[in-house]
Structure 1
Amino acid sequence: MNDPPHSDPRADLEAKTAFLLSPGSYPGFAGTVELVETHMARVFLTDRYAYKMKKAVRTDYLDFSTLALREHACREELRLNRRLTSEVYLAVVPLSLGSDGRLRLGDHDDEGNGEVVEWLVKMRRLPLETCLTECIAEVSAAELAPLLRHLCDFYRAAQPLAVDPVAYLRGLQQQVEHHRQQLLAPGLGLEQAGIHAVADFLLAVTRREAGLLGQRAVDGRIVEGHGDLRPEHCFLTEPPQVIDCLEFNFALRCVDPLDELGYLALECELLGRRDLGDDILSAYRRACADPAPALLEYFYKAYRALVRAQLAAAHLQDGAIAEPQKWRAKARRYLDAARHYGRRADAHAA
């Protein structure tokens, strides 16, 4: 396929995108290619596979600004996601520029003169109807149980990380302050008093319950987890699959499983299935023999709700967006959830 005129496929995101949107770029495929865009990537969907191409972006928590960094991130995505999936993350595939000036999805041209200009993660597509967000209204506790066993087996097998309890507390506090400042950005239209109330509460708990939180690190409860455990990443297939872990930042994957599964429970509750949220944490406590008090569960949920509020609000800073009220309402909903769990934490405080 010819590239768009006057573009350099080595650096031009749109030239690469145009090539990857062409069905002829995928050997043996004659259907339609669908594009899904996120902040950090463009994902190209064929009938059976998904190809994820990372954008050349850099933020305070990731750096994809060079081809070498994107290749490393792709290989990490493959390695890390294989921990919770089977036969889903297939390969890291090069996008090459041949000596004839044309792009090819593959290594080099026949003469060996190809130049790799991008890297993509190739994945097997999973049935959409098995995604937890798609079936959450009807799914039963029995149908969810294999996924929970899969996750609990993962946490039990994970090597505890040597985390200094003071550093663990400091990391939580820094994250709270970061999300507070992001939510207070001008133009977001969010109530500042409510943001301060949530952040102040969370910081107060880290000081008041420093012994409880620090003991999680002392007891070896902190592991390298998934990092972004939401219902849309969970598939109730046989066996269950958990995709799209947070591959680009090790520190953000260093989590307490009670925090991470509390995050999944929170999202299920906000989708109308509080019962599933209760099932998730009950299954974890039994399987991983974790006697953590309810106060800790509610603290983690309030913290995750603050994080999600900031991520929703970040969409309002993307320039011209089609539905600003949607993202503003979503941020407010998460802030409301954070206040709710803060009240529940206070009710269980010693």
Structure 2
Amino acid sequence: MHFEVTLESKVAFLRQPTSYPEPAYRVEAIETHMSWVFLTDEHAYKLKKPVRYEFLDFSTIDARRAYCEEELRLNRRLAPDVYLGIDALAIDAAGHLHLDGDGTVVDWLVKMRRLPTHLMLDYAIRHGTAGGSDIERVAARLADFYRACAPIAIDPVEYRRRFLAHIDSSQLELSQPAYGLPLVQLDAICRAQRAVLQNRSALFDQRVQAGLIAEGHGDLRPEHVCLNAQISIIDCLEFSRDLRIVDRADEISFLALECERLGAGGLGALFLRSYSDLSNDRPPSALIHFYQSYRAILRAVIAVRHLNEEKFRYSPEWPRRAKTYLQLAENHVACCR
């Protein structure tokens, strides 16, 4: 017998504490652009939405299973004790859903160990509990990680072209009148970023030639860093290898930028220094500032995209956050001179 199970039905089932093999007092459901995450007392279960965008395709069950497996493989590099496996969501002959049970598989979920909220770096920064020793441990974890990464061969011209393409597309998107962003500021930032790529191309070419481009995390933000005993770093970009192919300095610059946005610029600076000392990788400050300016523009794009969704359309948070990122982008690109 064939059953068509909608996303809404799957979500409704997974919201129920009785749907899980372990005892669950309550279930917290969190929706993102691309998935639903269900938090029980001890675990987190991620269900990918059947969506298709320019940069990913989760529209079929086979694709979602493949991406679940890829998420497991990639995230075990930096959080091996967190990513436990993938579970099947199945429906039996009576039309009842079961998690990791018998029946016809209708979807797949990534099963993770739930991490303590108070140990996430963004929470610790906001509540003043993140200290220098924590940041140094994060730097050591990442230095070890990148040391084990194989260099990725890429043409230096192509490497710089990727930045230009993203700057152009970001400016076009952020210029939409509906977002109400300061276009003179945006234009000046993007022109300055292009000038760095054109006039200081050696900054980028030297990184490529030194073998410092790697398949990294792709989304290294404080909310993905857990300050537990071993330092667990979760939620890498499993859906795009291109977005994971980065200069190591790009990723560490991004994490420092996000610390700065959260009001912990000092911790971000300490992180950069600690990483450089531990890895013996000392990228020029102009390059660090370019990467931070570039990442801030990309994050501004992600912020305003929330306004395209009905539930976020009237929230002042996303335009405000985009403007914050534009100011960060302006500040950092000015330091590239």
TM-score normalised by the shorter chain: which range applies? over 0.9
**C-alpha distance in 1 between matches for 2:121 and 2:104:** 40
1:300 maps to amino acid: Y
Q: Check 1:22–1:183 CA distance in 2 against 1; reply closer, same or farther (3 A cut).
A: same
In 1: Cα distance, 2:188 partner to 2:34 partner: 31
Map Cα deviations across residues 106-151 of structure 1 (whole Å, 9 max, x no partner). Answer: 142xxxxx21110100000011111111112232212322221111
Output the CA distance in 2 between the equivalents of 1:162 and 1:189: 40
TM-score using structure 2 length = 0.96
Partner in structure 2 of residue 26 of structure 1: 20
Q: Deviation of residue 321 (structure 1)?
A: 2.2
Unaligned runs of 5+ in 1: 1-7, 109-113
Tell me, in whole angstroms, the C-alpha distance in 1 between the residues paired with 2:158 and 2:5: 40
Deviation at 1:75, TM superposition (A): 0.6
Query: Which residue, 34, 37, 43 being the options, matches 2:31?
Result: 37
Deviations along 1:53-77, one digit per CA (max 9) or x if unpaired, are: 0001111111111111111111111
Partner of 2:292: 301
**What is the distance in 2 between the residues matched to 1:155 and 1:168?**
19
Residue in 2 that maps onto 1:145: 136
1:147–1:240 CA contact under 8 A, matched in 2: yes
Q: Deviations over 1:81-110 (max 9, x none)?
A: 0000131000111101112211110142xx
1:126 paired residue number: 115
Counterpart in the other structure of 2:100: 106
Asked whether 1:12 is paired with 2:6, we answer yes
Aligned residue among 80, 104, 119 for 1:115: 104
Q: 1:324 is paired with a residue of what secondary structure?
A: coil
Matched pairs, number: 334
Structure 2 Cα separation of the partners of residues 27 and 247 of structure 1: 27
Q: Which residue is 1:273 aligned to?
A: 264
Partner of 1:111: none
Q: Name the counterpart of 1:5.
A: none
Match of 1:230 among 221, 228, 236: 221
Counterpart residue number, 2:177: 186
The CA distance in 1 between the partners of 2:247 and 2:22, in whole Å, is 45
Q: 1:320 to 1:50 in 2, by over 3 A?
A: closer
SS of the residue aligned with 2:108? strand
Name the CA distance, whole Å, in 2 between partners of 1:217 and 1:11: 48
Matched, 1:52 2:30: no
CA deviation profile, 1:283-309 (whole Å, cap 9, x unmatched): 221222223211101100100111111
Could you tell which deviates more after superposition, 9-18 or 128-137?
9-18
Q: How big is the shift at 1:47?
A: 0.3
Q: 1:260/1:9 Cα in 2 relative to 1: closer, same or farther (>3 Å)?
A: farther
In the superposition, the TM-score normalised over structure 1's length comes to 0.92
Aligned match of 1:4: none
Alignment partner of 1:199 is 2:193: no
Partner of 1:220: 211
Q: Secondary structure of 1:345's match?
A: coil
Q: 2:139–2:278: 8 Å Cα contact kept in structure 1?
A: no
Residue 212 of structure 1, CA deviation = 1.8
RMSD: 1.4
1:181-205 per-residue CA deviation (whole Å, 9 max, x = no partner) reads 1212231111222221111111111
- Aligned position for 2:242: 251
Alpha-carbon distance in 2 for matches of 1:240, 1:47 = 21
One-letter amino acid of the structure 1 residue matched with residue 39 of structure 2: L
Distance 2:315 2:163 in 1: 29
Q: Output the CA distance in 2 between the equivalents of 1:229 and 1:248.
A: 15
Partner letter of residue 99 of structure 1? Answer: A
Q: 1:169 — aligned with what?
A: 160
Cα 1:320–1:141 shift into 2, 3 Å: closer
Q: Distance in 1 between matches of 2:22 and 2:64?
A: 27
- 1:81 corresponds to: 75
Asked if 2 retains the 8 angstrom alpha-carbon contact of 1:33 and 1:46, the reply is yes
Check conservation: 1:301, 1:338, Cα contact below 8 A.
yes
Distance in 2 (CA, whole Å) between partners of 1:254 and 1:179 is 19
Find the aligned partners of 1:338 and 1:28 in 2 and give their Cα distance.
46
Report the alpha carbon displacement of residue 322 of structure 1 after superposing the two structures with TM: 6.2
Q: Output the CA distance in 1 between the equivalents of 2:288 and 2:35.
A: 32
Amino acid at match of 1:53: L
**In structure 2, how many angstroms separate the alpha carbons of the residues matched to 1:30 and 1:173?**
49
Would the aligned equivalents of 1:312 and 1:330 in 2 still touch at CA under 8 Å?
yes
Amino acid at match of 1:139: A
Q: Any idea what SS the aligned residue of 1:52 has?
A: strand
- Partner AA of 2:320 in structure 1: A
Separation in 2 of the partners of 1:332 and 1:34?
31
